[in-house]
Amino acid sequence: MPDLEVATAEATLTFSTSDVVTIGRRDDNRVIVADPTVSRQHAVLRFDSGDWVLEDLTGGRTFLAGQPVARLTIGGAARTFNLGSPSGPWITVAAGALAQTAGAPPREATSGEDTAGVPVVTAAGSSAQWAAAAPPQWEPMRPGVAPAQPGPFAPPAGGLGARAGTPARGSLNAEQLKRALHILIPYRSWIENAGWRSRVRLLFLVYAMLPVLFLVLFLNTTNFQTLGWVYAIYTAPIWLLAFWFLIKPEDTPRTLAITGAAVTVIVLLIMAGPLQWYYKAIPDPQLHPGNWFGWLIAPGVAEEATKDGAVLITLLVAGSFFKQQLGQRLGVRSCMFLGTIAGLAFGAREAALYQDKDLTAFGLTTGPHALVQYVLEFSLRIFTDGLQHAEWAGIACFFIGLGLNYTRRRVPLILFGYGFGAIIHATNDWSTGESSWLWVALQVLWAVLFLGYTLFAPSIEAQVRETSLFRGDSILAEQFGGDGGGEPLAPGPSGYPG
């Protein structure tokens, strides 16, 4: 028995008797028929007991001459099957050589039929041949002889623009209507398609439904903090996804998920205890809003220590684990990414606390101005509070990451990053009492600074690695889990150390 040839509207493929020829819509099939009415795995061809056998995998949606086929031996003649419906996409199968003109399925020729210009299938022994189509002959024009005049014009059935062999306009039968609906509304393909398990589609579905669920679940709530929590948590993953693509951390998502969860827990624990005690022990900077140092001592130093400290504690505790299990420290850009996680966690908790205050104040105030002010405050807290904290902590933790990976200047680098974040934070809060437009300009500056460090982080790290100023032995290296050599143990996944 010769090898198998399978023809579709797009191509002709040849297979040996050792092949298992799968047919379907999915890209991993040997024969791909990209039509929504075709199943992902529609049929299969196998060489069995000296002959090729086609087996339907759809429960009756493979047709031969309009009749469903469950299992069929191909034999010596070429056979044309329709997939999905009796008028669905065709494939021609022959145990031999198909000399094919692409674009139209072959059909059985009746004895005595004129085959000029029409591809037909003939069976000769065990091979199928397409009859050669003779090209049309044109008579050249001769001088002094008028060309032949065409006969009277007869419009095709269905009106002008209709193709020969198509039904008249508006005269679809039941089978044609069913096929049209299958093409336009391919519900069966949607159900079977593995694309539904795509993370992007699942995330879209969740985010489309959550606001509706929030409205139903919390319509009658009297806990104002709950509203702040749910909407801040709703927006945080969007920013986190943006940070992932901007920063491009070196380490795996699993590693960052575990360390990020630890950072989040530590941030919330510090906010619930030590940060509250600290605020009770110092003067409220709002009593003297023009005093910049008051804002540096209160929110600047305290809140940045909460976020940066959570990242630093996590990395110092987990540092030995990374070196033993992975043979490397966490990368510099991964540290920056963890800083953004700490900022988002801090911002979500702060949004919940401020929602309680804002909603209480709104309940004691009347008038449309109070309503507008509350809506704007709510939007600011929900959409940008976490973003601002993430920007500041991300910049600070970039330097902390450098300090943890390049040990000679570890302590100065960590302190520089922490101080940089505290100064930015203090300046931001101080500006709210000075000028609204100054505050807006500073938001642009913080965003540009953050984007600059995400863009130039690899080159900055490369210069730190190549400069002797940041390399060499450190007195504190061993105490912090360093190797004393000033360089990471092994390059990270991206090729940069870490």
CA 59 to chain CA mean position, Å = 34
Rounded Cα distance between 288 and 12, Å, is 82
Q: Which of 360, 380, 404, 318 is nearest to 223 (CA)?
A: 360
One-letter-per-residue 3-state SS of 15-54: ECCCCCEEEECCCCCCEECCCCCCCCCCEEEEEECCEEEE
Please state, in angstroms and rounded to a whole number, the distance separating the CA atoms of residues 497 and 484: 15
Spell out the per-residue pLDDT of the chain, length 498, in tens. Answer: 568 899 988 888 888 888 899 999 888 889 999 888 888 889 999 988 888 999 998 888 899 988 899 899 988 888 999 998 888 899 999 886 554 434 445 444 443 444 333 333 333 333 333 333 344 444 444 445 454 454 444 454 544 444 444 555 556 678 778 777 877 887 776 776 667 777 788 888 888 888 888 888 887 877 777 777 888 888 888 899 999 999 999 888 888 998 999 999 999 999 988 988 888 888 888 778 888 998 998 889 999 999 999 999 998 887 666 665 555 678 899 999 999 999 999 988 888 887 766 666 655 555 566 666 667 777 777 788 889 999 999 999 999 999 888 878 889 999 999 999 999 999 999 998 888 899 999 999 999 999 999 999 988 988 888 887 776 544 333 444 444 444 443 334 333 333
Confidence (pLDDT) at 405: 84
Burial class (CB in 10 A: 0-12, 13-18, 19+), 396: buried
Q: How far apart are CA 447 and CA 464, in angstroms?
A: 24
- Pairing type for strands 43-48 and 31-32 reads unpaired
Rounded distance, CA 214 to CA 31, Å?
47
Quick one: pLDDT at residue 163? 47
Name the amino acid, one letter, at 488.
P
pLDDT (0 to 100) of residue 325: 58
Options 3.40.50.720, 3.90.45.10, 2.60.200.20, 3.30.565.10; CATH of 4-106+121-128: 2.60.200.20
pLDDT at 488: 42
Q: Rounded to an integer, what distance in angstroms lies between the CA atom of residue 105 and that of residue 72?
A: 19
Helix pair 224-247, 436-466: axis angle to 10 deg: 40
Is 0.85 topped by the overall pTM?
A: no
Taking a C-beta distance cutoff of 8 angstroms, is the pair 40, 193 a contact?
yes
**Can you give the pLDDT at residue 366?**
56
The domain spans of the chain are 4-106+121-128, 198-470
